[in-house]
Amino acid sequence: MNLKEPLPMTQNIYDDPTFFQGYSQLGRSVGGLDAAPEWPALQALLPPMHDLRVLDLGCGYGWFSRWASEHGARQVLGLDVSEKMLATARASTSAPNIDYQRADLEHLSLPSLSFDLAYSSLALHYIKDLSGLFAQVYGALVPGARLVFSIEHPIFMAPRNPGWQVDAQGHKSWPLDSYQREGERVTHWLAEGVIKQHRTLGTLLNTLIDTGFNLRHVQEWGPTAQQVEDLPALAEEQERPMLLLVAAQR
């Protein structure tokens, strides 16, 4: 065994050329936070940014890190495993209080009691050792600080065939199965063989609780009536939750 071999990393699908190419063209990649329909709901779970030390887990292009900086955060540390995304993030700002670093969220080592807010958007469903990551984040936050994140909803991730079924009347339903079978889900989204980690909603919440967090809000995101009126394609998101938003407090 080569002792210099690094720890096994999370699948770094964002540096896969096909995936990156597809991802970079998504609405939320081009348009940022305002192009993500769940952003208003996620934002409502955040404390005022003024003077906060913010940790952005899976910062991607850095949309949130920049937003936090522009809204008064004292200091922002954005972490991501993707070199390509970090390069874009770094090129998109000259704010001196944002620091982007490459890090694998599976093997994080964070300084204790150093952050007032931890944030993560759609990254945690790639993490295998979520218990370990939550413990790191808990230790890195000061008492009273919040962890606010979005994650793919387990209902969305669980099925063997995660796609709509449409009946003769045009009604859509989501064929849920395999819900209790936790573990890897391999999907073909933008590229072949994207690996995600399915765990039940109960397991996710209990992992937070057992780490010591207090749950403050759990939201299975769905579009508002106004959002559906503005963008009718969002209507199907009322049939089953695709995203889960969570606010927890140390």
Q: List interacting residues with its own copies (CB under 8 A).
A: 155, 159-161, 165, 171-181, 200-202, 205-206, 209, 214-220, 222, 237-241, 244
Our CB check for its own copies shows the closer of 98 and 151 to be 151
> Residue 219 in contact with residue 241, Cβ under 8 Å?
no
Our CB check for its own copies shows the closer of 101 and 161 to be 161
Our CB check for its own copies shows the closer of 1 and 168 to be 168
Considering only CA atoms, which of 153, 160, 156, 200 is closest in space to residue 178? 160
> Which amino acid belongs to residue 153?
H
Closest contact distance (angstroms) between CB of 171 and its own copies is: 7
Give the sign of the dihedral formed by CA 245, CA 179, CA 28, CA 105: positive
Closest contact distance (angstroms) between CB of 39 and its own copies is: 17
Closest contact distance (angstroms) between CB of 236 and its own copies is: 9
Our CB check for its own copies shows the closer of 17 and 170 to be 170
Measure the CA–CA gap between 160 and 182, rounded to whole angstroms.
12
Our CB check for its own copies shows the closer of 79 and 158 to be 158
Residues with Cβ within 8 Å of residue 100, at least 6 apart in sequence: 59, 62, 65, 78, 79, 80, 86, 89, 90
Please spell the DSSP secondary structure of 115-144, one letter per residue. Answer: EEEEEEES-GGG-S-HHHHHHHHHHHEEEE
Our CB check for its own copies shows the closer of 11 and 211 to be 211
Determine the 3-state secondary structure of 106 from DSSP: helix
Closest contact distance (angstroms) between CB of 228 and its own copies is: 10
Cross-strand pairs, 219: 245
Closest contact distance (angstroms) between CB of 180 and its own copies is: 4
Quick count: other Cβ atoms within 10 Å of Cβ 91?
A: 10
Closest contact distance (angstroms) between CB of 175 and its own copies is: 4
Measure the CA–CA gap between 58 and 104, rounded to whole angstroms.
9
